């Protein structure tokens, strides 16, 4: 028997360039089913549910939904609230009062855990209810997924940014350090490697949270790269840790702010890059050393949206409606790679995704721990989409010199 009632869709955590594709996919597919009485969007994620801030997307035009789908960041706004069981109980009461039978939450592993808890409340109350977690994260750290929507576009931004940074650094040599998002997983930082075309292209060094970071070894690596190439470009994850598992930023900066979850604020300042820049200048006596923290630009840059990422984000939203409404089941949607390059979608139990973190596989990281392998490039290249830029270098021969060291013509 068809389960009749409302659909509620929410977006949580950090926005991405393609998160609205998932939203619109879920909205448009849900509106096709006669048993769906209304499709609501909760403003500010779970906070919107608690405060009954529902936008009736049943009454939004298809034309405008399609325009929103191509717009980065969370159209329904987002939240950093991580609900506990008590919060979810109250949230479920609101959903029940509004006769919500389908709950689709777009987010990362914390969002999957929220979906799991809310679903358990429905089971305990013997309330017919279907809950689907729709994957989203630029960190690419959801277990069981080959990759997650949002990562491909963020990786496209990072890799194309490094193309430009490499050209700049080649024109005016020095050491350049870029700090990239990634608290526990280094996929996004690793994507800087996709910028390399010529043998001497940067980034020359890549440091990831999956490997312990040693400052002395870092300085030696920079020194060697600078001696080899006459310059050095470094891509480094904000979440790099020392051999004791302590975030490096806490060793370099006296005071580090924390977010609402108690996590260190890694992207809120340029402290890590500034500290490493100062060390390179002091210890290696290199004058021209610069750093940037790419920050929030990585998540929502409208000029670097991957078509592959956009299409897959749309489909996971559509699949949420199919699994929840058509198949009448709960779970988390997972992306599987089925070839080079194709994907399939399946549904897994929420407990297999919730609260878990996926890390870079060992085969993606060089033995030295300061770069990535060709296996990673093979894995990541399709995800950044078509029309990937290809910078070129001049290759004309040099004209012969005609003056000797004294400024006089040869053979005079």
Quick check: is 395 in a domain? no
* Ligand-binding site membership of 106 (annotated): no
Looking at the fold, whether 263 and 372 belong to one and the same domain comes out as yes
230 HSE (CA, 13 A, CB side): 6
- pLDDT, position 356: 94
For residue range 276-315, list pLDDT tens digits in order. Answer: 999 999 999 999 999 999 999 999 999 999 999 999 999 9
The rounded Cα 67 to chain-centroid distance in angstroms is 22
Which tokens belong to 201?
A: 């292209």
Quick check: is 408 in a domain? no
Q: Pairing between strand 130-135 and 175-180?
A: unpaired
- pLDDT, position 229: 97
How far, in Å, CA of 160 to CA of 96, rounded? 47
Pair 385, 309: CB distance under 8 Å: yes
* Average pLDDT rounded to a whole number, residues 350-371: 96
* Average pLDDT rounded to a whole number, residues 382-401: 95
How far, in Å, CA of 152 to CA of 144, rounded? 17
Work out the mean pLDDT of the chain and round it to a whole number.
Answer: 94
Which tokens belong to 107?
A: 């987010």
Quick check: is 406 in a domain? no
From the list 157, 146, 139, the residue with the least C-alpha distance to 300 is 157
Looking at the fold, whether 43 and 98 belong to one and the same domain comes out as yes
Looking at the fold, whether 26 and 68 belong to one and the same domain comes out as yes
Whether residue 8 is predicted with pLDDT greater than 80 in this model: the reply is yes
For residue range 127-137, list pLDDT tens digits in order. Answer: 999 999 999 99
Looking at the fold, whether 309 and 327 belong to one and the same domain comes out as yes
User: Backbone dihedral region of 346: left (phi > 0), alpha (psi from -120 to 50 degrees) or beta?
Assistant: beta
- pLDDT, position 2: 81
Whether residue 1 is predicted with pLDDT greater than 80 in this model: the reply is no
pLDDT band at 256 (very low <50, low <70, confident <90, very high): low
* Ligand-binding site membership of 393 (annotated): no
Whether residue 258 is predicted with pLDDT greater than 60 in this model: the reply is no
Quick check: is 27 in a domain? yes
Residue 193's φ and ψ, nearest 5 degrees, are -65, -20
Whether residue 90 is predicted with pLDDT greater than 90 in this model: the reply is yes
* Ligand-binding site membership of 182 (annotated): yes
- CATH code for position 205: 3.40.50.460
Whether residue 44 is predicted with pLDDT greater than 50 in this model: the reply is yes
| Angle between helices 19-30 and 62-69 in degrees, nearest 10 | 160
Is the four-CA dihedral 349, 350, 356, 362 of positive or negative sign? Answer: positive
From the list 76, 1, 86, the residue with the least C-alpha distance to 35 is 1
* Average pLDDT rounded to a whole number, residues 363-389: 97
Which tokens belong to 210?
A: 């999956």
Looking at the fold, whether 138 and 36 belong to one and the same domain comes out as yes
Looking at the fold, whether 52 and 80 belong to one and the same domain comes out as yes
Looking at the fold, whether 84 and 124 belong to one and the same domain comes out as yes
- pLDDT, position 257: 59
Domains: count for the chain: 2
Beta-ladder partners of 176: 233, 290
Looking at the fold, whether 290 and 234 belong to one and the same domain comes out as yes
Looking at the fold, whether 167 and 91 belong to one and the same domain comes out as no
Whether residue 262 is predicted with pLDDT greater than 60 in this model: the reply is no
- CATH code for position 24: 3.40.50.450
Quick check: is 332 in a domain? yes
- pLDDT, position 261: 46
201 is catalytic: no
Looking at the fold, whether 287 and 315 belong to one and the same domain comes out as no
Quick check: is 17 in a domain? yes
What Å distances lie between residue 216 and 95, 162, 280, 293, CA to CA?
Answer: 55, 25, 10, 22
Pair 12, 302: CB distance under 8 Å: no
Options 2, 99, 110, 139, the catalytic residue: 139
How far, in Å, CA of 187 to CA of 183, rounded? 10
Whether residue 252 is predicted with pLDDT greater than 80 in this model: the reply is no
Looking at the fold, whether 321 and 371 belong to one and the same domain comes out as no
* Average pLDDT rounded to a whole number, residues 53-58: 98
Quick check: is 394 in a domain? no
* Ligand-binding site membership of 360 (annotated): no
Whether residue 268 is predicted with pLDDT greater than 90 in this model: the reply is no
How far, in Å, CA of 350 to CA of 407, rounded? 76
Which tokens belong to 409?
A: 């013509």
**Boundaries of domain holding 286:** 153-301+358-382
- pLDDT, position 251: 75
User: 3-class DSSP state for residue 40?
Assistant: strand
- pLDDT, position 408: 87
pLDDT band at 269 (very low <50, low <70, confident <90, very high): low
Give the DSSP letter string of 305-361.
Answer: --HHHHHHHHHHHHHHHIIIIIS---EEEEEEEEETTEEEEEEE-GGGTTT------
From the list 122, 141, 146, 124, the residue with the least C-alpha distance to 132 is 122
Looking at the fold, whether 369 and 242 belong to one and the same domain comes out as yes
Pair 387, 395: CB distance under 8 Å: no
* Ligand-binding site membership of 160 (annotated): no
Q: Hey, how many other C-beta atoms are within 10 angstroms of the C-beta on 63? A: 8
SS (H, E, C) 43-101: CCHHHHHHCCCEEEHHHCCHHHHHHHHCCCCCCCCCCCCCCCHHHHHHHHHHHHHCCEE
Share of the chain above pLDDT 70, in %: 95
* Ligand-binding site membership of 13 (annotated): no
Q: What is the pTM of this model?
A: 0.94
- pLDDT, position 263: 52
* Ligand-binding site membership of 353 (annotated): no
Quick check: is 404 in a domain? no
What Å distances lie between residue 1 and 128, 223, 238, 323, CA to CA?
Answer: 11, 69, 50, 15
For residue range 196-239, list pLDDT tens digits in order. Answer: 999 999 999 999 999 999 999 999 999 999 999 999 999 999 99
- pLDDT, position 407: 82
């Amino acid at each position: 028997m068809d389960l009749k009632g409302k659909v509620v869709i929410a977006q949580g955590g950090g926005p991405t360039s393609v998160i609205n594709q998932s939203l619109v996919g879920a909205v448009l597919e849900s509106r096709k089913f006669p048993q769906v009485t209304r499709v609501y969007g909760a403003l500010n994620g779970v906070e919107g549910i608690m405060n009954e801030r529902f936008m009736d997307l049943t009454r939004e035009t298809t034309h405008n939904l399609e325009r929103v789908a191509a717009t980065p960041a969370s159209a329904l706004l987002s939240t950093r609230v991580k609900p506990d069981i008590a919060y979810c109980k109250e949230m479920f009461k609101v959903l029940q009062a509004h006769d919500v039978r389908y709950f689709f939450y777009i987010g990362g592993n914390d969002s999957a855990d929220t979906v799991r808890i809310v679903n358990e409340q429905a089971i305990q109350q013997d309330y017919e209810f279907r809950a689907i977690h729709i994957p989203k994260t630029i960190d690419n750290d959801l277990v069981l997924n080959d990759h997650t929507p949002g990562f491909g576009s963020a990786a496209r931004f990072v890799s194309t940014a490094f193309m430009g940074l490499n050209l700049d650094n080649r024109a005016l040599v020095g050491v350049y350090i870029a700090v990239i998002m990634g608290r526990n997983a280094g996929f996004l930082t690793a994507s800087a490697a996709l910028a390399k075309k010529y043998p001497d292209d940067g980034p020359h060094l890549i440091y990831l949270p999956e490997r312990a970071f040693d400052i002395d070894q870092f300085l030696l690596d920079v020194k060697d790269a600078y001696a080899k190439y006459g310059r050095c470009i470094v891509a480094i994850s904000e979440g790099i840790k020392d051999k004791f598992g302590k975030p490096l930023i806490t060793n370099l900066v006296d005071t580090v702010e924390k977010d609402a979850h108690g996590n260190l604020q890694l992207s809120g300042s340029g402290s890590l890059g500034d500290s490493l820049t100062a060390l390179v200048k002091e210890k290696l006596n290199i004058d021209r050393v610069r750093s940037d923290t790419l920050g929030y630009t990585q998540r929502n840059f409208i000029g670097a949206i991957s078509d592959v990422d956009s299409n897959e984000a749309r489909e996971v939203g559509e699949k949420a409606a199919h699994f929840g409404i058509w198949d009448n089941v709960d779970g988390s949607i997972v992306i599987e790679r089925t070839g080079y390059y194709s994907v399939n979608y399946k549904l897994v139990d929420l407990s297999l995704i919730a609260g878990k973190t996926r890390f870079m596989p060992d085969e993606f990281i060089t033995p030295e721990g300061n770069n990535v392998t060709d296996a990673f490039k093979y894995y990541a290249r399709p995800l950044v989409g078509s029309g990937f830029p290809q910078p070129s270098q001049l290759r004309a021969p040099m004209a012969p010199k005609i003056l000797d060291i004294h400024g006089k013509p040869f053979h005079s």
